[in-house]
Amino acid sequence: MTGPESDLVARAAAWRDADPDPETQAELNQLLGAVGAAAAGGAGGAASADGEPGVAGDGAAEPNPGTLAGLAERFEGSLAFGTAGIRAAMGAGPMRMNRLVAGRVASGLARYFAAADPRAAGAGVVVGYDGRANSEVFATDAARILSRAGVRVSMLPRPLPTPVLAFAVRHLRAAYGLMVTASHNPREDNGIKVYVSDGGQLLPPADAEIASFIDAVDPLRLPAGWAEGPFEFTPADDAVSAYISAVAAGGRRPPGAGPELKVVHTALHGVGDATLRAVLAAAGWPAPVPVAAQQQPDPAFPTVPYPNPEASGVLDLARETAEREGADLVLANDPDADRLAVMVPGAAGWRMLTGDELGALLGDAVLRRLARSSPGGPSGPDGPPPVVATTVVSGSLLRRLARAAGVRCVTTLTGFKWIARAGGADGALVYGYEQALGYAVRPDLVADKDGISAALLVLQVAAQEAAAGRALSDRLDDLAVAHGLHITGQRGLRADGPAGLAQLSDAVERIRKEPPRALAGHPVTVTDLLDGAEGVVDLAGGRAERCPGQPIPPANVLIWHVGDDARVMIRSSGTEPELKIYAEVVRAVQSRDELAAARSAANRHAEELMTAAATALRPLPPVLVVQPPPVAVLIAAERRPVEPLVRAPERIEPAGIGRIGVEHPAALTHEPAHAGLLADPVLPVDVSRLKLVLAPVVVLDRCRLWIDRDVEVVVEVATLRRRPRERPAHPLAIGQQPIERRP
């Protein structure tokens, strides 16, 4: 083995020897055993993997590259702590979530408290955990380390929703909270989130300061006895009952509330079921019908390995249960119950409301309730003025609703660490949401998203509509007619390992330097939040506006305003190796009769925009060199065009997505020569910066185009052949779009 490889093996062995977890010890023993077997086989002439005798050499043979890669994935670097805390797949090593890493986080926090926030020891820390594998173990290890460091520790009594922990921090007047959870991540993951004294998530710059203390901890030299033995803590059972009572008090079922709704609920193998049932019972609502296979916490997540309610197929069992039971509504919490999804029946069957649709419904309910409680105006005679909040990548309908109600709406960066503080020093947040199914309907109780209190408000709204013979979809139609139809969509480009993540990062930098001039045939203007802004440009019924006086910290978010009624947002996920693309299209409608056609057209437009953005972000294939002359294709890369191989090239001019006209550069009125493109099949292409140079008699058959802002065009060619210079009988086509000839 080389020096670096020997060092890698030594570090893995040291970690194994310090690890108190038999499962992760066994994981490393297997990897180290494979390395040792390869080395012994090379030195001793053992048979190779293919059955041939090994050849003895000067030393040991090279270990299996896959085995070394497995060690490197676990030991090259360490998990970074940020505002979202720390989250990763469980396993051995500093790049996985395990007992040593959890102990390192707790030890770093204890050092930070002693050095930078001494009040924390007396005010204390509340520790909670969800039902994932090892969550209770990680929580207990962290509590033990903090308690033995002199920090007063309170512990929630069992696996509970994340919003209960956020509530408990405020309720117990603690300095911090630790929640062991990976929320809706894949079942292999786990993590730790940190809350501060206001019950909200950690904010910069404290996250970087805490991270520096965590980084200074050697996980192989944690305090003696950290992994076993008793420690002092205070049970926080009363915080759980206080949460249930406080949430229920704001959503009691009124007497004579109308027809009783049949509701199906799924906890997706998480911890939301018992808490939701307790809240509903305390508020006088009937118990929901459970999705039995997903009702109880199960760290194996046997029916949904990726328990994100937004993911395809995750709510299939809930849909089947609703159909079987004849239900009126489906409520779905993610595994730590801080998010909520809602499904409603319709003419085409059950469908899930988008996060923006539900966000608008809940915001509308809060604003109407606010108006009823303050007839003289939303601010009332006393107290700070109310504020609602949403994020730069969420829909803009909430802003329209707030304007109509005379309430200030604040736009923040993604994440409830920002939303929960949107009221600022001079306002009181009454509602906040983000499109990823996160809703704060009782921010006076929980300074974070809360899928339990949100579910209770959905029930109230659904019951009110049902009493009038209506459904939630009817209220959405009301809002569309009154404030414009707002259609939103989302896509994710997931990275495959560090190399894939680097590719996505490079793609964002390319389009940041030179964004497309047009998408879907409409001009594009750009807001780059990395530059900072005194507010964010938003859609306001088709008009651009800013939110003055609401500075937003610089963020890696691009907003492309497409025409005067649409926008595309691009950002990296804060919790997963993924690049996210969002689109919003706004259409004015005059009556309900126009809604179906407007909705269909707006959905198509949103899909076109997201497809075009994904195409612009697609990694480039290798440059293709076409030989021999006289066939000529201009292939440009690294901003350096390849010289054309023939004279008098044709040029394809900008004409929007999927629309290409051919013009002769010497005489724009010249009848175009019939160089053309026959595609098989092609995604919509932004051709606003496209140049393709051809010999006048050449046709490129069965090719695909990838457009990049640093590259004029890259063409993957299946075949090239000559064609006589003659007028074709029909327009050439790209995909389903005809190539329009320009006079």
Neighbour order of strands in the sheet with 408-412: 408-412, 386-391, 428-434, 438-440
> 342: closest CA among 195, 478, 465?
465
For helices 595-617 and 497-513, what crossing angle results, to 10°? 110
* Pairing of the two strands 676-679 and 698-708: parallel
Those residues with Cβ within 8 angstroms of residue 395's Cβ, 6 or more apart along the chain or in another chain: 356, 359, 360, 435, 486, 488, 584
Those residues with Cβ within 8 angstroms of residue 382's Cβ, 6 or more apart along the chain or in another chain: none
Give kind and range of the element (H or E) at residue 6. helix 3-18
Matching residue, tokens 């805490």: 210
Give CA–CA dist 674/677, Å, rounded.
Answer: 10
Report yes or no: 654 and 518 within 8 Å, Cβ to Cβ.
Answer: yes
CA 698 vs CA 278, 321, 565, 670: distances in Å: 73, 59, 40, 18
Q: Which residues pair with 568 in a beta bridge?
A: 560, 583
Other C-beta atoms lying within 10 Å of the C-beta of residue 296: 14
Give CA–CA dist 118/140, Å, rounded.
Answer: 22
Give kind and range of the element (H or E) at residue 9. helix 3-18
Cα atoms in the Cβ-side hemisphere of radius 13 Å centred on 505: 8
Give the Cα-Cα-Cα angle 306, 491, 263 (nearest 5 degrees): 55
> 543: closest CA among 564, 566, 569, 522?
564
Give the Cα-Cα-Cα angle 172, 176, 182 (nearest 5 degrees): 110
Q: Which residues pair with 190 in a beta bridge?
A: 88
Total residue count of the chain as it appears in this document: 743
Residue 536 is given by DSSP the state -
**Pairs from 17-21 (Cβ < 8 Å, separation ≥ 24):** 18/100, 18/219, 18/220, 19/92, 19/98, 19/99, 19/100, 20/99, 20/227, 20/228, 21/98, 21/99, 21/137
> 130: closest CA among 97, 101, 109, 156?
156
Report yes or no: 1 and 24 within 8 Å, Cβ to Cβ.
Answer: no
Report yes or no: 536 and 559 within 8 Å, Cβ to Cβ.
Answer: yes
Give kind and range of the element (H or E) at residue 705. strand 698-708
Active site residue: 107, 147, 154, 183, which one? 183
Report yes or no: 338 and 450 within 8 Å, Cβ to Cβ.
Answer: yes
Q: Mark whether 183 is an active-site residue.
A: yes
Give CA–CA dist 708/693, Å, rounded.
Answer: 16
Report yes or no: 682 and 704 within 8 Å, Cβ to Cβ.
Answer: yes
Give CA–CA dist 442/2, Å, rounded.
Answer: 59
**Cβ burial, residue 50 (10 Å; 0-12/13-18/19+):** exposed
Report yes or no: 460 and 452 within 8 Å, Cβ to Cβ.
Answer: no
Report yes or no: 634 and 642 within 8 Å, Cβ to Cβ.
Answer: yes
Give CA–CA dist 356/438, Å, rounded.
Answer: 10
Those residues with Cβ within 8 angstroms of residue 290's Cβ, 6 or more apart along the chain or in another chain: 264, 265, 266, 267, 273
CA 730 vs CA 344, 349, 585, 696, 738: distances in Å: 47, 42, 34, 18, 9
Rg (CA), the chain: 29
Catalytic residue positions, numbered: 183
